[in-house]
C-alpha cells in the first residue's frame, strides 16, 4: 500500500510520455540527460576549485608564519652573540642626545665601545649619527665628546655626523671605510638591533660582526625586551623586502 502513489505517478507520467510523438520523447530525454550531466559535472569542478583555493591560502599562511617565526628567532639568536674578534674599527650606532649629552641608550653603547677599545678589539672608535632640527650637536659629536671626556684619545675617535637612521649612518661609514681602508668592523648597538645593523653593513660591503651592549633601558625588563624583539623583527623584514629604513616603525628603530 505504501508504494501505490509513486507507482501511480510513474504510470501516469509514462502514459503521458507514450502519447507524445517519438521524436518529442527523444528530445525530452536528451534535454533531461544534458541537465543531469551539467549538474553532475559542475559540482565536482566547483568543489575542486574551492579546495585548491583553500590549500593555496593555507600554504601562503604557513610560509608567512615560517618567515616571521624564523626572523624572530634569528633576531633573538644574534642578540645573544658577543663577537670580540679584532677589527679595523668599532662602530657605535647613534641614538638620541640632548644638547650634547648622550641619552641613556647612547651612553650605554658608548661605554661598551670604550671597553672594547681598551681591550684592544680595534684601534679606532667611529661614532655616527646626524642631528635633528634644532639640535646644536650631531649624535656623532655628542658621542665623540663623551668618549674623550672619559679618557679615550682624540685620535682614537672618528665622528661621522651623517645619517637620520641606521641605513644612512652605515652608508656614511661605508663611504669613509672605502676612503680610509677599513675593511672590518665591530658594530655596537642594542642586542635586538644587532642582526639588522649587521645585515645592512654586509650589504654595503663592510665585513662586520656585533658586540651589543648589555645595559641601558632597552634591556631592563623582559617586557621591554620582548617588545623590541618583535619591533626589530618587523623592521628587519621591512628592510629585507624593501632595502629601506624602518621609519614607519618608530624612531627607536631607526
State the cell numbers at 249: 616603525
- SS3 of residue 186 by DSSP: strand
**pLDDT tens by residue, 158-205:** 999 999 999 999 999 999 999 999 999 999 999 999 999 999 999 999
Q: Class for domain 82-253, per CATH?
A: alpha beta
**pLDDT tens by residue, 140-159:** 999 999 999 999 999 999 99
**pLDDT tens by residue, 35-56:** 545 555 555 667 777 877 888 8
Task: Tell me the C-alpha distance between 66 and 200, whole Å.
Answer: 22
Model pLDDT, residue 75: 93
**How does strand 97-98 pair with strand 184-188?**
unpaired
Query: Is residue 134 pLDDT above 90, yes or no?
Result: no
pTM: 0.74
Place of cell 658586540: 211
What are the DSSP E strand ranges found in the chain?
Answer: 89-92, 97-98, 101-102, 124-128, 157-160, 184-188, 207-210
Task: Tell me the C-alpha distance between 72 and 212, whole Å.
Answer: 17
- The β-bridge partners of 125 are 90, 157
Which residues, in sequence order, are CB contacts of 178 under 8 Å at separation 6+?
205
Residue 248's pLDDT band (cuts 50, 70, 90): very low
Amino acid at each position: 500500500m505504501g508504494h501505490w502513489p509513486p507507482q501511480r505517478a510513474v504510470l501516469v507520467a509514462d502514459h503521458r510520455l507514450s502519447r507524445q510523438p517519438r521524436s518529442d520523447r527523444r528530445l525530452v530525454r536528451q534535454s533531461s540527460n544534458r541537465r543531469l550531466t551539467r549538474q553532475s559535472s559542475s559540482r565536482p569542478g566547483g568543489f575542486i576549485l574551492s579546495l585548491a583555493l583553500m590549500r593555496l591560502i593555507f600554504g601562503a599562511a604557513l610560509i608567512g608564519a615560517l618567515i616571521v617565526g624564523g626572523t624572530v628567532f634569528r633576531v633573538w639568536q644574534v642578540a645573544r652573540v658577543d663577537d670580540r674578534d679584532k677589527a679595523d674599527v668599532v662602530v657605535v650606532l647613534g641614538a638620541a642626545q640632548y644638547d650634547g649629552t648622550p641619552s641613556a641608550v647612547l651612553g650605554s653603547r658608548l661605554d661598551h665601545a670604550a671597553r672594547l677599545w681598551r681591550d684592544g678589539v680595534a684601534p679606532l672608535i667611529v661614532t655616527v649619527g646626524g642631528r635633528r632640527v634644532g639640535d646644536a650637536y650631531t649624535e656623532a659629536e655628542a658621542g665623540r665628546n663623551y668618549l674623550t671626556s672619559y679618557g679615550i684619545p682624540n685620535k682614537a675617535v672618528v665622528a661621522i655626523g651623517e645619517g637620520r637612521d641606521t641605513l644612512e649612518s652605515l652608508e656614511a661609514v661605508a663611504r669613509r671605510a672605502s676612503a680610509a681602508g677599513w675593511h672590518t668592523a665591530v658594530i655596537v648597538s642594542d642586542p635586538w638591533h644587532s642582526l639588522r645593523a649587521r645585515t645592512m653593513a654586509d650589504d654595503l660591503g663592510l665585513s662586520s660582526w656585533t658586540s651589543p651592549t648589555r645595559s641601558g633601558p632597552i634591556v631592563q625588563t623582559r617586557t621591554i625586551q620582548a617588545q623590541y624583539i618583535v619591533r626589530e623583527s618587523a623592521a628587519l623584514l621591512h628592510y629585507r623586502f624593501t632595502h629601506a629604513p624602518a621609519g614607519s616603525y618608530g624612531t627607536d628603530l631607526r
